[in-house]
């Protein structure tokens, strides 16, 4: 009897509504799978569009063989949290182990010669094995379908997925796939979407095949290849012998409720396959978080650039960590493009030639390609230091970007002059005797003028250089600053897209160190050692007096903790205080913790309105404050938090009384 089965899984860079392109990628992946000897090929979620059954729209897998549809399997568990709102578009199939007749549309009938096909929760019984289907979210649910399917004798589980990238998420996904067959035995085939599907998410491939709890084939996580096909040959007898040794599994299987089986007159194996070599377990190779930052956002930027039909990017480069990290991601993108072309990727070469408007061009040197597609701009003011100017210039030289130096003082004075002419009053910075309102307004004018100039130069820089096209403006606000609201509304945080908007300051610092070591960008050393500053207030003796953490009243490390507790742990002011008095008991008194928590929630709530206009950012953290789809909360809060803060004060008093500390006034 046949025992060796060769199966294929895919990672495809599909794009919503790109019907012709999506079809071409599907057909190409089928051809590759067949050429590698696969008898079964799996693609990502929604590679074939939704199905309307009895006027209800379902997210479905359509399984077919030789122009005949075998089964339409609707999704049972829909993703409806975080970035996903599947219930807006689809209805989950709620009839377990139930199959109905589906009447095919006439246009499909003409192709398949079928009038009706099975629709529902069923499995496929071939001549040599049994296959069952899961879809994306169903792997992540507590009672995944593969559990009951495995007990009912299903040996091969297939999962068409649309799973997005988050830093450090790959471990969880791989563990879920391997654990699906660790206790129950079987073969698990996982396919995934890859690339930017026109929104804030990057789908990171990682197609994989696992057997009996161990990975046997690993696909790439980050790649510019639109089509990736992973093939493995496995021995069905290994599944059967593995299951035979698990007594508890067999006892449960003897009582399992059976699935409807769709009989398929086809075998995945061949009769004479004794000499066919099979795949052995491998160790999954994980990227470090720094590598993930270098590769994921870079691939996302490439997809956005080529699909938007623009000629490159423009970045206001301040000489600080955030904008420098953004520049390094663009430089990494250029590396990936040159590497893909070197490896024979014709799609990337065609896209690169179209972007630079040169049909004979071949990108070979990342710095040279960067010069063509990346413009950086240092926008100095009277409050800027020579140090940041030099840092920006040196980094631009090392990555190869087309660099512009300009001064915004004329524009700032013109805008402030209009205000003075109308009101008869001239605002001053605090160091010159002005109020905090005056100082903040003057800082905001500088920041907003930089945004206006960024878009002006993005539209006309290439025109001035005699080149066609326009540039996409890149933002460079990190996730912690967005959470705190430490940004000017409609300043350089307002851009077309932001590759670091979902990444913490701590991770960005580690990424900068990675770039120093791996890209030999020595200019980053001085950027790393300099304290982060907005440079919007007057210099003192020619030196920067303003720093970000002093302005915010909290450190970036603290902000990351606040963000995770607020979003992931769902903690309000009092809950956060209760958690932090234990987390920080070695470094802060309860009264100090209370003061920090109160200050964070005041600033977070006062500035929440800024999230409504936040630039679309690469989603990389699960505590992102993105208001568009991920973190749906009010943007008008009662910023006094009176009841919550009183509860904190009472708890502080109780704790101090217990420690014998004399009571003092309520915490600020």
> Active-site positions?
45, 75, 136, 318
DSSP state letter for 484? H
Taking the C-alpha atoms of residue 145 and residue 294, their distance in angstroms, rounded to an integer, is: 36
> What is 561-597 written as a DSSP string?
HHHHHHHTS---HHHHHHHHHHHTTTT--HHHHHHHH
Instruction: Give the number of other Cβ atoms within 10 Å of residue 547's Cβ.
Output: 13
Here the tokens at position 491 are 């300043």
DSSP three-state, residue 325? helix
b/e 563-589 (16+ beta carbons within 10 angstroms → b) = bebbbeeebebbbbbbbbbeebeeeeb
CA angle 195/200/206 to nearest 5° reads 35
DSSP state letter for 540? B
CA distances from 62 to 42, 73, 91, 102 (A): 11, 6, 17, 12
Taking the C-alpha atoms of residue 196 and residue 440, their distance in angstroms, rounded to an integer, is: 37
Taking the C-alpha atoms of residue 329 and residue 337, their distance in angstroms, rounded to an integer, is: 12
Torsion, Cα of 536, 539, 545, 546 (10° steps): 0
Alpha helices in 213-320 (DSSP H): 236-244, 247-253, 289-308
Here the tokens at position 233 are 């040959």
Taking the C-alpha atoms of residue 53 and residue 72, their distance in angstroms, rounded to an integer, is: 10
Which residues sit opposite 403 in a β-bridge?
Answer: 376
Contact (Cβ atoms closer than 8 angstroms) between residue 100 and residue 125? no
Q: Please name which of 221, 166, 167 lies closest in space to residue 190, comparing C-alpha atoms.
A: 221
Q: Please name which of 219, 225, 164 lies closest in space to residue 189, comparing C-alpha atoms.
A: 219
Taking the C-alpha atoms of residue 530 and residue 387, their distance in angstroms, rounded to an integer, is: 9
Q: Please name which of 479, 498, 505, 495 lies closest in space to residue 623, comparing C-alpha atoms.
A: 479
Taking the C-alpha atoms of residue 164 and residue 81, their distance in angstroms, rounded to an integer, is: 13
């Amino acid at each position: 009897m046949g025992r060796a089965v060769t199966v294929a899984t895919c990672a495809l860079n599909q794009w919503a509504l790109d019907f012709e392109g999506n079809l071409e990628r599907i057909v190409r992946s089928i051809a590759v799978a067949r050429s590698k000897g696969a008898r079964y090929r799996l693609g990502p979620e929604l590679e074939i569009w939704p199905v309307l059954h009895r006027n209800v729209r379902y997210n479905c897998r359509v399984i077919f063989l030789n122009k005949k549809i075998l089964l339409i399997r609707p999704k049972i568990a829909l993703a409806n949290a975080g970035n996903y709102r599947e219930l807006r578009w689809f209805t989950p199939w709620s009839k377990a182990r139930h199959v109905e007749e589906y009447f095919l549309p006439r246009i499909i009938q003409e192709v398949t010669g079928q009038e009706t096909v099975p629709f529902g929760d069923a499995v496929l019984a071939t001549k040599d094995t049994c296959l069952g289907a899961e879809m994306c979210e169903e792997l992540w649910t507590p009672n995944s379908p593969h559990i009951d399917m495995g007990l009912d004798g299903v040996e091969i589980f297939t999962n068409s997925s649309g799973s997005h990238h988050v830093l450090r998420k790959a471990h969880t996904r791989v563990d879920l796939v391997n654990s699906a067959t660790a206790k129950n035995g079987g073969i698990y085939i996982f396919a995934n979407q890859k690339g930017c599907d026109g929104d804030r998410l990057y789908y990171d491939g990682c197609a994989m095949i696992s057997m009996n709890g161990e990975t046997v084939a690993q696909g790439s996580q980050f790649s510019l290849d639109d089509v990736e096909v992973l093939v493995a040959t496995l021995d069905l007898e290994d599944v059967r012998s593995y299951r035979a040794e698990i007594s508890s599994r067999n006892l449960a299987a003897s009582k399992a409720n059976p699935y409807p089986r769709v009989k398929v007159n086809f075998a995945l194996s061949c009769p004479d396959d004794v000499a066919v070599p099979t795949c052995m377990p491998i160790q999954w190779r994980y990227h470090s978080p720094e590598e993930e930052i270098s590769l994921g956002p870079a691939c996302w930027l490439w997809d956005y650039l080529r699909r938007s039909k623009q000629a490159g990017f423009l970045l206001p480069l301040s000489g600080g960590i955030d904008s420098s990290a953004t520049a390094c991601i663009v430089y990494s993108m250029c590396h990936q493009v040159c590497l893909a072309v070197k490896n024979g990727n014709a799609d990337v070469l065609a896209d690169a030639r179209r972007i630079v408007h040169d049909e004979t061009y071949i990108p070979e040197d990342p710095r040279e390609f960067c010069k063509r597609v990346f413009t950086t701009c240092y926008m100095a003011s009277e409050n800027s230091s020579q140090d940041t100017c030099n840092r920006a210039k040196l980094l631009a030289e090392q990555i190869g970007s087309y660099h512009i130096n300009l001064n915004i003082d004329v524009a700032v004075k013109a805008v402030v002059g209009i205000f003075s002419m109308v009101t008869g009053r001239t605002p001053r910075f605090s160091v010159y005797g002005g109020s905090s309102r005056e100082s903040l307004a003057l800082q905001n004018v500088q920041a907003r003028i930089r945004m206006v100039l960024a878009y002006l130069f993005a539209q006309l820089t290439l025109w001035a250089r005699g080149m066609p096209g326009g540039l996409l403006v890149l933002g460079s606000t990190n996730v912690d600053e967005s959470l705190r609201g430490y940004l000017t509304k409609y300043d350089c945080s307002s851009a077309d897209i932001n590759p670091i908007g979902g990444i913490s300051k701590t991770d960005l610092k580690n990424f900068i160190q990675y770039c120093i070591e791996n890209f030999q960008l020595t200019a980053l050393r001085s950027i790393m050692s300099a304290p982060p500053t907005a440079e919007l207030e007057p210099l003192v003796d020619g030196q920067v007096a303003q720093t970000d953490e002093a302005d915010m009243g909290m450190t970036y490390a603290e902000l990351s903790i606040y963000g995770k507790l607020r979003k992931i742990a769902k903690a309000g002011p009092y809950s956060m205080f209760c958690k932090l008095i234990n987390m920080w008991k070695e470094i802060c008194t309860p009264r100090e913790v209370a003061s920090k928590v109160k200050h964070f929630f005041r600033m977070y709530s006062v500035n929440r309105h800024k999230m409504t206009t936040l630039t679309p950012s690469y989603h990389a953290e699960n505590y992102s404050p993105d208001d568009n789809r991920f973190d749906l909360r009010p943007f008008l809060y009662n910023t006094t938090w009176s009841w919550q803060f009183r509860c904190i004060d009472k708890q502080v008093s109780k704790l101090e009384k217990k420690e014998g500390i004399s009571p003092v006034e309520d915490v600020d």
